[in-house]
Structure 1
């Protein structure tokens, strides 16, 4: 039959009614086309398949590619940030103030040996105060500091600081030199040795006197003075006169760096032993003058005159009638001043022969003065130097 279902094209592909179930999938040729779409089984031009027009949408990036781009950008940002932080840290650690900070921190912590080394300060045997032990004895030391300005040039830098010392602000300036670079970028600064202050002591006493400064023993020079380099602080000073003389202890203050200290003057006084030794030295000098077998004892304050050149004098002799009374006062330019409070007296006698025959010559009584100075002491006692000699301030007879 030409018009039965068996002759309709495609009809034979229709499954029988007994094979139709709700979960059966229709063959592709029987799938209903989308409204307005192409026949079933034909590609949709709007899908952008091969050979179709530009209306096809572009395919999006895969999720993995997007994550990779984001991660790369984040890594770049982190690298830039890390580089900026590294530059900042490197610049800060290579700032000219860093060596100054380290130096002052060592000083504040009492690590004087480390401070000397970091600042390149050479120490010799006379620098008895540039030790950890001596500085530990000092008071009024630096307790804090604050950088106020940093001026960096190509090769030199200047760092200004305010030091806190004894409750006051003390300015200080430090110089640095550039010695090279780290990694070819960051400057390396070297602190130049700062000028130190000094403890200056003047002893009103003999030259080469012993002095104790912060427990360290030193000796004055030919001018009776000594100067010692010192870090900021206050140092106790005392004279070591042994059993002969003493002086009240004092304090030497060193403010900041490079500031000369005010000289500390130690006024000495004789001890009882010193007074006794001084009196003995004066008596010995008087006795030596009296024992001189001449009318004009050398280096003495009394003498006799009026002898006849035509006579020959023998048995010349001085007799001390009374000793001068003296007092020993404060140190002057030459020594402890010895003043004659009341003069003594002496008489002179001698035998003579001459054109008129034999006879006996006499002179006196003559004042005996014993003014002068006690210039020092040794194991044998005091040394007395008279102020008058051969009657330069006395009259003979």
Structure 2
């Protein structure tokens, strides 16, 4: 191959000998020229300053977030929300503990099981407002129950502070409503409320503390009497409780039969007496002559009274005589005029009164008429 350059490679100038038209670079001021010593920031120092600023900013943000979180967690409505959250979830035991509600074994409706058998529970709520006055706070809440809004007020007390700044609020136990049942029947009648068995008091009532809801009520009269089922609705909280549930009882066929047997036993007991005026009975004889001696006294029942048993009154199921019975009294006598026989009657036998209750042996009858108070004797 032939080199085309006329002088060959030896004529090409060396790179160090090449010069251009560039302007010379401006001189860098020296520390002596500026009058102050030159100071350069090292990279690590700059990174440290930036990192330190970021830490300060992060601490500030964290502080704001922490303050906000703590303020929210220490708000007066937080205990109310915790209580209502447990209640709407059916956690009765937890709800009672959260609210500080005292209860014992007599409060048979304040259990998870009983509340589960009730209906129309609190299904939701909203906090309408909070007001703080010193160490007391009131929280207005609206409960959602049975498709209705039920306004409710809760009271809280400030009991302490966290870190000396954030208040600690304690919910005052809200006053519970009550299920009130009135049974037109004997005292100590068995009643079932939401599956829990209780007995009525002497005045025929039963009162039970209850959480908001509707509770089924039934009367257990055994084979003797019954009543239509009812229900008690407790709206929200407070002393008002439910409208009293009146349970009207009526005798079953077995109860009617037992009532008739009780009346018959009473009549038979009066007739079995040898007294001219049997105690507690509706018939009697009078006019005995003290100069004579009486023996072999007896009553004879000529006709048994007919009765009907009606509804419950203050003392029991009313027994009315629809047709009076008849009884005759006889006795042997002896005296100044000789010996002979004395008789009285026939007398009306009135069996009006009350069936006051039942036991395993049957019904108990109490007469409303004693010793012929409404009858005439002879």
Query: What's the TM-score, normalizing by structure 2?
Result: 0.89
> In the TM superposition, what is the alpha-carbon distance from 1:341 to its structure 2 partner?
0.8
> In the TM superposition, what is the alpha-carbon distance from 1:63 to its structure 2 partner?
6.5
1:192 aligns to what? 172
- Indicate conservation of the 8 Å contact 2:187/2:203, yes or no: yes
Alignment deviations for residues 123-144 of structure 1 (CA, whole Å, 9 cap, x no partner): 2111111111010000000000
Distance in 2 separating the partners of 1:229 and 1:22: 108
1:324 to 302, 305, 324: 305
2:57 to 77, 83, 98: 77
2:16 to 18, 23, 28: 23
2:73 aligns to what? 93
Alignment deviations for residues 180-201 of structure 1 (CA, whole Å, 9 cap, x no partner): 2222221111212111111111
1:161 to 137, 141, 144: 141
- 2:266 is equivalent to residue 248 of structure 1: no
> In the TM superposition, what is the alpha-carbon distance from 1:365 to its structure 2 partner?
1.3
1:303-342 → structure 2 map (5 Å cutoff) = 303-342=284-323
- Indicate conservation of the 8 Å contact 2:31/2:38, yes or no: no
SS, match of residue 161 in structure 1: strand
Which blocks of at least 5 consecutive residues in structure 2 are unaligned? 1-12
1:260-339 → structure 2 map (5 Å cutoff) = 260-339=241-320
1:392 to 365, 373, 378: 373
> In the TM superposition, what is the alpha-carbon distance from 1:59 to its structure 2 partner?
7.3
Distance in 2 separating the partners of 1:345 and 1:53: 145
Alignment deviations for residues 132-170 of structure 1 (CA, whole Å, 9 cap, x no partner): 101000000000001111122332221111000000011
SS, match of residue 276 in structure 1: helix
1:374-389 → structure 2 map (5 Å cutoff) = 374-389=355-370
Distance in 1 separating the partners of 2:64 and 2:29: 51
Distance in 2 separating the partners of 1:271 and 1:22: 130
SS, match of residue 203 in structure 2: coil
- Indicate conservation of the 8 Å contact 2:31/2:37, yes or no: no
1:135-150 → structure 2 map (5 Å cutoff) = 135-150=115-130
Instruction: Give the aligned CA root-mean-square deviation in angstroms.
Output: 2.5
1:174 aligns to what? 154
Distance in 2 separating the partners of 1:49 and 1:321: 148
> In the TM superposition, what is the alpha-carbon distance from 1:340 to its structure 2 partner?
0.5
Distance in 1 separating the partners of 2:31 and 2:263: 136
Distance in 1 separating the partners of 2:211 and 2:363: 38
Which blocks of at least 5 consecutive residues in structure 1 are unaligned? 1-19, 27-32, 38-43
Larger radius of gyration: 1
- Indicate conservation of the 8 Å contact 2:293/2:335, yes or no: yes
SS, match of residue 393 in structure 1: coil
> In the TM superposition, what is the alpha-carbon distance from 1:354 to its structure 2 partner?
2.0
**CA 1:396–1:67: 2 relative to 1, 3 Å:** same
> In the TM superposition, what is the alpha-carbon distance from 1:64 to its structure 2 partner?
6.0
Alignment deviations for residues 90-134 of structure 1 (CA, whole Å, 9 cap, x no partner): 000111111110111111111101111111122211111111101
> In the TM superposition, what is the alpha-carbon distance from 1:396 to its structure 2 partner?
0.5
**CA 1:329–1:22: 2 relative to 1, 3 Å:** closer
Distance in 2 separating the partners of 1:367 and 1:195: 59
> In the TM superposition, what is the alpha-carbon distance from 1:295 to its structure 2 partner?
1.1
- 2:334 is equivalent to residue 353 of structure 1: yes
Distance in 2 separating the partners of 1:294 and 1:53: 145
Alignment deviations for residues 17-71 of structure 1 (CA, whole Å, 9 cap, x no partner): xxx9762599xxxxxx979x9xxxxxx7x94652x577x9997867665554444
**CA 1:171–1:311: 2 relative to 1, 3 Å:** same
Distance in 1 separating the partners of 2:203 and 2:362: 22
**CA 1:90–1:347: 2 relative to 1, 3 Å:** same
> In the TM superposition, what is the alpha-carbon distance from 1:75 to its structure 2 partner?
3.1
